[in-house]
Each structure stands twice: as C-alpha cells, then as structure tokens.
Amino acid sequence: MTEDPGAVAHRPDGTGCGAGGAAAERRGRPRNAAVDTTVIETVLRLLEDGVTIGDLSMERIAREAGVGKATVYRRWAGKEALMLDVMRSLDGGAQQPSPTGESVRDDLVAMLEFLRRRGLAKRSSALLRTVVTQMQAQPQLWKEYHDTVVTARREAMLAVLRRGTLTGEIRTDRDLELLADLFVSPMLTRAMLHEWKEMPEGLAEQIVDTVLEGARPPGE
C-alpha cells in the first residue's frame, strides 16, 4: 500500500517528526480534535462490530469515518500508530498521576489507585478486552504499546523507589525491579486474572503498606 504523500510520520507519543514535520504542523491549519475523535470512534465501532485489526485498512477507516485518506495519514503514519491512540483512548488516555515528591508512600498509593480504577473500568468494558486481545495477537503492535505506555509507567515507579532509597524511606539493599513487581502485581492480578475478586477502595493503601513493611530500613 502506498502512503499518501501528505503523510507525516509520528513519534510514539503522537507528535510529528521527520524532516520538516514540525514546520509543516506550524504552517498548516490547527489540527481538528473533532476529526481525531471521529476516526478513533470509527475504529472502535468497527471492532465492536466484529472487524479484526488485521482486516482494518486506513482506506476503510477513512471511508467509514467520512474523511479523506490524506486527512487520516496527516494524523497517523499508519495503522499501528492509529491503533496505539485507539488503545490509549480506552486506557483513560494512559495518563497516570505525576509523583508529588512529598512522600514515597503517597506517590506509590496514587500510582496503584490509578491501576485500581483502570482495572475496574476494564471489567466493565468488553470492547477494551477485545482490543487488548487483538493487539496481543499483533506482536509488533503490542510491543509498541508496551514500550511507549507500560514502560513509561514502570520507569515512573522506579524513579519513586530510587528517590525513596535516597530519603531513607526504602532500604538500599533491596532489588528495586523486584519491589516494583511486588507493588504492582497484586493489583494487576485482580484486574486481569481474578475478575471475581473485589478491588475495593483502600486496596492501594493496603498493598503499599504491606510491601513497605518489608522495604523500610530497620528501625523505621
């Protein structure tokens, strides 16, 4: 398939890149957010109707959305970039709260509370489960999502834990990668594997306090 000559390559975060990309964005008309929404909602409707990601094409998406193919390509370099934004739209925009830096415990609780709320949303969204399943069947697309969204969240948690070792809130003789897994895994297990288990308010605090009990320096 030949891409439209007006296509602008996009970075994983959705911003224009490549020679002249930023300048072209500035010279052109402001991007219409309503068109972005229309295209993304069209993809979701097609998926909900049973169309697979493999059967989707940029031409079909443009036709179903009632916009020109060039309009779609100006926003997304290809279907992979578009599907990442579709996934983010179902994922609450993939924006977890930024650490305040005041308390390692409070920052960890905020991060896990974000996961708890996402987990509750996933349980009520059959469409989200469908999209996740189909994306996992597309290894390159799933890797891109993992590298641009999941890894960023993990790095944010590791940054909080590193700060904790400097402030004396976290022991320096603990593997921070393992600690990150211990904080996150209970929430993900309930959200993804054990859907019958409750995810009540206060669960984030309970997990953080339990793990911190073994992660604090002696005497703290």
Measured CA to CA in angstroms, residue 147 lies from 64, 151, 155 at distances of: 30, 5, 11
DSSP 191: I
132 with 209, same domain? yes
Contacts of 44 (CB under 8 A, 6+ apart): 86, 89, 90, 127, 131
pLDDT band for position 203 (cuts 50, 70, 90): very high
- pLDDT value at position 82? 93
For the segment 47-72, the average pLDDT, to the nearest whole number, is 92
- DSSP string of 118-176? HHHHHHT-HHHHHHHHHHHTSHHHHHHHIIIIIHHHHHHHHHHHHHHHHHTSS-TTS-H
The CATH number linked to 53 is 1.10.10.60
Residues in the chain: 220
Does residue 66 sit in the same domain as residue 97?
no
User: Looking at the 3D structure of the chain, how many domains does it have?
Assistant: 2
122 with 174, same domain: the answer is: yes
Residues 35 and 100 reside in one and the same domain? no
Please state, for a pLDDT cut of 90, what percent of the chain lies above it.
41
Instruction: Select the more confidently predicted residue: 192 or 109.
Output: 109
> Which is nearest to 184 in space by CA: 153, 213, 162?
153
Task: For residue 133, give the nearest of 125, 162, 204, 113 by alpha carbon.
Answer: 125
Residues 105 and 34 in one domain: no
| Percent of the chain whose predicted confidence (pLDDT) is above 70 | 77
Segments forming the whole domain that contains residue 69: 21-79
User: In Å, how far are 43, 52, 137, 153 from 180, measured between CA atoms?
Assistant: 34, 34, 27, 11
- Within this chain, do residues 198 and 129 fall inside the same structural domain, yes or no? yes
Statement to judge: residues 66 and 119 lie in one domain: no
Is the pLDDT at 96 greater than 60? The verdict is yes
Task: Output the pLDDT for position 139.
Answer: 87
Q: Which CATH number belongs to the domain containing residue 100 in this structure?
A: 1.10.357.10
Same domain, 98 and 188: yes
Spatial neighbors of 123 by CB under 8 A, at least 6 apart, are: 191, 195
Higher pLDDT, 92 or 39: 39
Q: pTM of the full predicted structure?
A: 0.64
Residue 205, classed as helix, strand or coil, is helix
| 1 pLDDT more than 60 | no
Q: In the structure, what pLDDT confidence band is assigned to residue 199 with cuts at 50, 70 and 90?
A: confident
Where residue 204 falls among pLDDT bands split at 50, 70, 90?
very high
Give the pLDDT mean for 174-202.
86
pLDDT of residue 106: 95
Both 145 and 207 in a single domain?
yes
